[in-house]
Structure 1
Amino acid sequence: MVHFSPKVISGHKPFKCFNIWYAHPSIIHMVESTWQTEVAGTPQYRLAIRLQLVKSALKCWNREVFGNVHQKLKHSRDHLALIQRLLHDNPLDLAMISQENEVHLNYANLLVKEESFIRQKSKQNSIQLGDSNSPIFMP
């Protein structure tokens, strides 16, 4: 007989830094400039407030820089398919060839970002379920 325990409903999700953020050139400057914000109070209080400020800034920065990677990937895939259909009808159009190369490069970059995001989420989900994505499972 299988028994399922009721799902525990927790509060807010913990803040997560995604690996794809670290490859972006503007993250260091954004974190440093946010950290330099003047905060009055005890050292512990200043640390807590600065961490909250960095967290908030990172969330906004993520929305601005990366947005919804899955949606951007779908849009890029559709755009690439359209350009390739047009290029199929007129294969000697140099402007269209150049545009296809640009869109293909953007699509490839988005694929890398999505793969990194999914891999990290998969690892987090496995850890929460008791597995570390390793071949050996230790209960």
Structure 2
Amino acid sequence: MTASNEWPELRALYGTVQVPDLNTCGFFYVHVDERETSVTFGFETSQLPSHPKPEWSGKPYNTLRFFVEFTDVTNLRMAGIVAEAERRVRIGRGASDCLDVAVAGDRREISFSAAASRVTHIRVELQGSL
């Protein structure tokens, strides 16, 4: 399971169109904040929303980037840095209704449990040329 359909910020942008599966999104950012016990992931997709924000009107873009913050993180495990093209994202409900999160490639992995998650930033960008 990938929880992208559970984030209302993305559901509002995509409406009845399927929110992008995290396994099809580019995974470009990981930030571990030990003070706040949080982990933030950055994803990008070329699957553009059917209900874009008004401030994007008239702006050329072909990529949507969004950041997901996981809070009250416990049991953090990291092996290498997750930047492989071939990787799997899994977010599911575990014990005590916590989120069990894992991003794994052939040689690298990050996994943890989190109390909650939320989309913190969404922006559009123009990558390459039109």
- Shorter-normalised TM range: under 0.3
Question: Which structure carries more relative contact order (alpha carbon 8 Å, separation 6+)?
Answer: 2
**Which structure has greater helix proportion?**
1
**Which structure has greater strand proportion?**
2
Larger radius of gyration, structure 1 or 2? 1
